[in-house]
Structure 1
Amino acid sequence: MNNNVKHPKYVPEVRSNLRNHLIEVPAVIRDASGIKIFGKRIKSLVFTTDVAIIKNTNADAVIAVYPFTPQPIITQSLVMAADVPVFCGVGGGITQGKRVLNLALDAEFKGAVGVVVNAPTSNEIVSALRDTIDIPIIVTVVSENEDIEGRIEAGATIINVSGGRNTAKIVKKIRDMFPTFPIIATGGPTDESILETIRAGANAITYTPPTTGDIFSSLMEKYRHNS
């Protein structure tokens, strides 16, 4: 018998009747290299502020950015609900100045693993954040025309690319300029678009899950069919 023959790794899976209904991120995201943050390797991030989804997903982390002024009570609720690292939005768009710094410091104290700032955030605020907090600063990029070098010099820890259909193109441009800098990016709706973004150089992928309303709608259809 040849003991040197390698077999594919078998991964045992444990589920239960009540915890069998999960929102699973696309399996293709496992092809990403991941980003190791405080010793934990993160490849997939679920983009949501829905506590029910946060408790019922297999994503490696949560990226919680929302279109309202960030509030500490929201940060606290998300961090308490999550079993995985949470990256919290702290403004940079509508919310500016000292308030961003205060929200970021509060997020760190509440247990967030990193903070996310929006694309309009000035380099001055990024630099001030770097002097204020000890957790990663994730700076969102939406255009290939942004000054990535300036962002990095100001103190960005990770670049978060959210460029719609141009995301993979933006990722590739950043990767060509900075071969080892950590990049998170939106993957798009299909396995093909996710793979394209990974091949362009994204280390981790953000996945937007269906809403609880959509999930409930499909469940109700199933209940009606079985009644």
Structure 2
Amino acid sequence: MAKQVPSYTGTLRNHSLTIPACVSECSGIRIFGRRIKSLAFSTDVAIIKNINADAIIAVYPFTPQPVISQAIISVSDVPVFVGVGGGITTGSRSVRLAIQSEHQGAYGVVLNAPTSDDVIRQIKKVVDIPVVITVVSAHTDIGSRLEAGADFLNVSGAAATPEIVAEIRRDFPEVPIIATGGPTEESILRTIQAGANAITYTPPSNGVLFARIMNQHRKAL
């Protein structure tokens, strides 16, 4: 029988962003005693402060900068997983960024798909937080990633994500998998059923949210 969960939202915060309820179906990943089922993919501090995700995954399409990581970590009420490069930014710079991210309070570091196994090994030697490697294709050599020291996989394969997750899960039944769930409850559930332990959710942008509010204001006039 489903449990009844009392809820309070208040007046000023009742329009905060909410992770789709179906994400609760996944097992979650326990990190330093904290169980994480949902991660919000955002670097917008206003959204980060107003979403009920279990964690934040802060990856952006620029060279990682410690000042950005520090700003996000200082605002967030939940653990933050910080991008430290692996594509354009790599090698010893990614290693230094990983060390600094841990010192800033990051719960984990995320590396882009092009990251070499050697960089994973170097980072794993110097940090005590999870090293997360991004997987974008079913052709990725998962075994070599895990052997190099990757702790979690972050599967981001667009529409093919459920299929990639299922293939990984078949060959590596115990590996922790974070995966993008897509825009609908149906796509999220499909990803969970394929074997994802935690789901990354992309919230609507500030522009989209403002457009909704302004439309409501116009209708009220």
Structures share fold, TM-score greater than 0.5:
yes
Question: Who wins on radius of gyration, i.e. which is larger?
Answer: 1
Give the superposed CA RMSD: 0.7
- Structure 1 partner of 2:200: 206
- Structure 1 partner of 2:92: 98
For 1:23 and 1:10, how far apart are their aligned partners in 2? 21
Mapping for residues 27-176 of structure 1, pairs under 5 Å? 27-176=21-170
Q: Does the residue aligned with 1:70 lie in a helix, a strand or coil?
A: coil
- Structure 2 partner of 1:4: none
**Residues 88-130 of structure 1, C-alpha deviations (whole Å, 9 max, x = no match):** 0000001011100110100000000000000000000000000
For 1:225 and 1:21, how far apart are their aligned partners in 2? 18
What amino acid is aligned across from residue 38 of structure 2 in structure 1? Answer: S
What amino acid is aligned across from residue 161 of structure 1 in structure 2? Answer: V
For 1:36 and 1:28, how far apart are their aligned partners in 2? 19
Runs of 4+ in 1 over 2 A off after TM superposition: none
- Structure 2 partner of 1:186: 180
The number of residues matched between the two structures is 221
For 1:176 and 1:148, how far apart are their aligned partners in 2? 12
For 1:175 and 1:8, how far apart are their aligned partners in 2? 29
Task: Give unpaired runs (5+ residues) of structure 2.
Answer: none
Task: Give unpaired runs (5+ residues) of structure 1.
Answer: 1-6
For 1:52 and 1:154, how far apart are their aligned partners in 2? 36
- Per mean C-alpha deviation after superposition, the further-off stretch among 126-135 and 9-18 is 9-18
TM-score when normalising by structure 1: 0.96
Is structure 2 residue 182 aligned with structure 1 residue 197?
no
> 1:8 offset after TM fit, Å?
3.6
> 1:160 offset after TM fit, Å?
0.3
> 1:151 offset after TM fit, Å?
0.2
For 2:31 and 2:23, how far apart are their aligned partners in 1? 17
TM-score when normalising by structure 2: 0.99
For 1:209 and 1:76, how far apart are their aligned partners in 2? 21
**Residues 150-195 of structure 1, C-alpha deviations (whole Å, 9 max, x = no match):** 0000000100000011101110111001111100000111111111
For 2:20 and 2:62, how far apart are their aligned partners in 1? 28
What amino acid is aligned across from residue 155 of structure 1 in structure 2? Answer: G
- Structure 2 partner of 1:177: 171
